[in-house]
Structure formats: structure tokens, C-alpha cells
Structure 1
């Protein structure tokens, strides 16, 4: 299989020596070169790719970057002008979704001085999006390794959940464990929400203390080797009411129905509808967010299990399945797996149990 740079060049440039592409955003630079840096640019021509790094990253990039030649610069614009002239480039595609107006204007001016046009059109963004939606076997292995840390963190945290512990204490313990297991970072600001805070789907861990009878929702994930994981589990401390169990069972039913349905060709909005219909039947208006999102070098990427996304599922996509019910000011339940679309159907990359755990 060709590497991502080669695939992008073939898809976007098609061998046209007078065209080039500039990857400027941090996440996409890492996707194409496997090298993390907060600054720099990837310049791709029909037959060559250059990773442009300043003094801070140049030496490390020589050791770690893939699929490109690393060259240093003192002035990024001057180096780009040099490469444009060297390769006879007349037009350069830019990532319009990530550029500010001021950055775009600087690129336009610099490229014009070198005899090239800055293409502020959506073609490059579309091409990158289509590449990133379909994960390679190597990417899937990285996501699974990241998820293994997340699964281990869930098992680790269960004995810490006791009466009087705060949401913040639990979140910190999960983060410490993940980093101790080798994660370079958490995938996002972790969510731990107990009792009435669980009705806030993106609650911020606070000094709220766990009480007996509480649901505790934990939305966690690790960042490992540039790839994210994402998992939510809701557990309970002590006995739960009939209403709590009914809510949990409904969310689980919706979650499992999606796992049964996802396969190549299924529209993403149909996956959302399957879960939403189950929840809306008995708990109308309590599931206010989309069913899921792609996961990879970013925690939220395309495609989306959403009412607004008709993208057909394809083998190699990794998308979350995370239905929830949120009863304002009372409690909430969410269950989330990462789902890999396969040629035959789908496979969950998440190993933690889904059945309600009573601690």
C-alpha cells in the first residue's frame, strides 16, 4: 500500500508537475509524516514531499519523520518560494478550513512573488478528509493500543469509586494511570460526572462527591503514538432504582442495536436513527447529541453518526457508538465504544464490559 503522502499526491495532483499542496495544520502534518511538532509545513509536489522545520524541530524531524525529506528554514515563506521556483510550480492547494484570513493573505502574496497561485478552494481539505476517514491496518493497530490503555484505566479506577470521593479525584487518578501506562497524554479533558451532574453530557469534573445510589459516568481516552481512543462507561455505587435501571437498559439496547446494524453501505445518519428511535420511544427529548464521531489523529473527525451526515459506512472507518439519556438535574447514562467498520459488518475496539456494574 502506498503511504499517505503518495496517496494524496496521486489523488490531488495526478502527476501534474505544475501543482503542489501545502499541509499547514499540526494534525495533518503528523498524519502524513508521523512527526509531532507545533510548527512547520509539508510541501508536496507531484514527485517529492518536503517537511519544512525550523531549528527547534529540524534535528528531531530527521530522526522521526516519515514519507518526506526534511529541510530546515529560517524564513518559511522564503523556503516555500525557493521550492516553488525549483519545481516550476504554478498553483498550490491550501487547507482552507484551518487557515486564518491573515495567513491566507500572506501565502497568496508570497506565492505570487514566486510566480504561483494560492488555491483557496476546498479540494485539498476534501482529499485529506477522505484519506483520514479510512484507517490503514497500522492506524487501526495504534488506535487499538490506545484503547487498551483506556480499558485498563477503567478496570483500575473501579476500586477507587467509593462514597465521598470527588469527581476530580477520580479523573486525576485515571489520567495518572494512563500516563503511567505509556500514554503521551489524555485524548481530551476527561469527564467524570456523578449523580445529578451526569445529566450534563460534557460535565467538568468537580468537587462533587460520589454518594450511594449515584450513577457515575466516565468518558475517558488516551493519546498514544499520535492516535486517540474514546470510551464511556456508566457505573453505579450501591443499589439503583427501577427508573435508573430502565434508563440504563434503554441506552444499552440502543448501543447494541447500532453494533448489530453497522456495515459497509449503511448511511451514517441511519446509524444515528436506529439508536435515536429506541430512545425517543420512551424518553423523548433526552438524547440531544449525535450518536458518534470518527476517531484517529483527532478525537473528533469525519465521518459522524449524525442526522446530518449521509456518508455511507466503509471498511476501515472507526466511529464511536455513544447513545445517552440525560434527565436534567437528576442523572444521566452514556455507553460508548469505538467501532471499526469491516468488510462483513463491524467490530468493537472497546473491551470493557457494558452491563451495569454495581459497586
Structure 2
């Protein structure tokens, strides 16, 4: 925790700020360890303050060990606190701090100058500690167990929404506190939808079935995707699957410190393009994962941040053919000093579910 506060103070010094105001839940939890839903953090050169209302005072006193806890309500007392601290230049999370918040603060604090942090806190969070990686590893392990469990449910007559519910129930029974996102359960022609969340469609023999899911453990997310065939795969299904698997494995083997997300994206994309399916791979190769299921570093054409040990990313190429179906294969990966470690342990070889 000392290191986390120190890292925020480094941002404060670099941007010549008097204080940084943190309200985004993931950033707030990362800095303070607070797991509740209401609160603000103020970091100055000399103080670390946590502000919340009556409902969370006991929780904050227990969780936010290194912080001065102040009870307040809504925004009026927040302006009072900032005024008492004599804050001139205040760093704010532009992706979270609303226009209304800004107007309110500047109306009440005429000498206050708001400065965008430009994602600095998210950048700090992109490199995970050993403890954070352990939490993500556990979340990935729960997802692996859930995949093995759900295979028996994937058969003709099953409904996509039922599969999603069964996955969530199983993972919660295994210790997950929630789901990372709305699960993608897309079968048949719907598997050509990259974000085909579970519907009332009935799974049929011969369908591709894409499962993209993950869970939350101690606040940290997992994310994995596997695509199966219900019954015997056709020649074209095998072809598409083989291309995606080759792209996924080739990009995965290139993961190491120093390589950028756009370089990894290019490696996978070139394989799919050479096979003639470039127009059918319309999303980025992956993304960072942590307290949010989508966070830095970018693993796509705008990913210009070099990979560093401790970053956790996904590698998930896909091919999506309208009217036919699609394939995506996704692993959760931690960048190591010498390369990478795959956290998703489920096999990536094509599964043809016997019916």
C-alpha cells in the first residue's frame, strides 16, 4: 500500500499538482483497498485521505489502514475539504469525472484548476504485483473448472441463456464473487457475432458454440474464450478453427517484455489475412485485464506501450463469417521477465462434442 500511494505521489509531482482526487471504483480500490461502493480518495504530498458517508465509515476504518478517514455526504463537504487543504491544481480522472462534477467544483472553488490525469492511474495499475497475479490466477482457475463442468451441458436442445446461468452459478459456488462481464454464449450462425451475448437460441447439431466468460475473485477478473463444435466438425469449420489457432499460438509465443500490443496484433492479423480472412477479423487481438476486464495495456493497432513483466493480457484472435459462424480462442497471459505464462489451462485443440 505504501508503494501504491507513493506511485500516485509521483504523478502528483510530475504534473505539479497540489492534490489528486480519485473516485473511479477500480482506482479507488487499488489505492485504498476499499471494497465499498461510495467514497473518494484525496492524495496530497503529505496526506492520504479517504472520504465516505455514514454507511461505510466502519468498513473504511477497517480497510483503509493508511488513510485519514473523513465522514461526509455527497459533494458539498468535498468542496469544503478541498478548500481547507488549500488546493489549487487538482488532478482528476477524466474518464470518470463528469462535466457536472467539474462545474460543481469550479463554481464553489473559484481558484481551483482541474488537470486531467490522462490515464496515469490506469497505467500504474497495468503492472500487477505478485498478490494481484495470484488473484487473477485463481479467477482463471475457476473459469477453467467451469469450462470442464459446462461441456456436459452443450448438446442439441440446450438454450444459450441456460448455459450462461449454469456457468455463473458454478463459478460462484467455486468462490467467485461475480462475473467479469455478460457472458458470450453464441451458437450456430450467432457465433459470427464477436459479442453475441447469450440468447434464447437453441443449440443444434453441427453448431459452432463460442463461450467467452470469466469471473471475479478478490476484485480481479479472468477472461477466456473457447469455441467447440456440437457433433462432428465440417471441413470448413476445421479450416477456420485451424487458422485461428495458428494465429493465436504464434502471437502468444511472441509475448515478451518490450514487444508492443500493436506488434502482437500484427503477428496474428497477418496469419489470418494470408489465409484470406482478413476482413473477418475486425477487432483487436486482446486487452489488459485486472480490476477491470478491459484495461491497459492495449493489445491492438493503437497498442504502443511496450510490454513489461507483471502485465496481464489476453490473446484472442477470431474469424467471423456472417451466415456461417465464427471462431475465437482466448488465453489469459501474464508477461514474465523471460516471456510469458499462460493462466488459462484449458486445451485449445478443437473439441467435437459427441451427440
User: TM exceeds 0.5?
Assistant: yes
Deviation at 1:79, TM superposition (A): 4.2
Pairs within 5 Å for 1:248-327 = 248-282=241-275, 283-327=277-321
Cross-structure match for 1:95: 93
Cross-structure match for 1:77: 76
Deviation at 1:174, TM superposition (A): 0.2
Indicate the SS of the match to 1:164.
coil
Q: Contact 1:3–1:67 (CA<8 Å) still a contact in 2?
A: no
Cross-structure match for 2:6: 6
Pairs within 5 Å for 1:136-285 = 136-282=129-275, 283-285=277-279
Q: 1:163 to 1:72 in 2, by over 3 A?
A: same
In 1, Cα distance between the equivalents of 2:194 and 2:180? Answer: 17
Q: 1:66 to 1:232 in 2, by over 3 A?
A: farther
In 2, Cα distance between the equivalents of 1:130 and 1:206? Answer: 36
Cross-structure match for 1:118: 113
Cross-structure match for 1:356: 350
Q: 1:165 to 1:302 in 2, by over 3 A?
A: same
In 2, Cα distance between the equivalents of 1:198 and 1:303? Answer: 27
Matched, 1:58 2:53: no
Q: Contact 2:287–2:313 (CA<8 Å) still a contact in 1?
A: yes
Q: 1:15 to 1:301 in 2, by over 3 A?
A: closer
Q: Contact 1:272–1:306 (CA<8 Å) still a contact in 2?
A: yes
Q: Contact 2:39–2:50 (CA<8 Å) still a contact in 1?
A: yes
Q: Which runs of 5+ in 2 are unaligned?
A: none
Q: Which runs of 5+ in 1 are unaligned?
A: none
Q: Contact 1:91–1:117 (CA<8 Å) still a contact in 2?
A: yes
Indicate the SS of the match to 1:189.
coil
In 2, Cα distance between the equivalents of 1:309 and 1:102? Answer: 31
In 2, Cα distance between the equivalents of 1:334 and 1:177? Answer: 23
In 2, Cα distance between the equivalents of 1:323 and 1:298? Answer: 20
Deviation at 1:51, TM superposition (A): 1.0
In 2, Cα distance between the equivalents of 1:341 and 1:246? Answer: 30
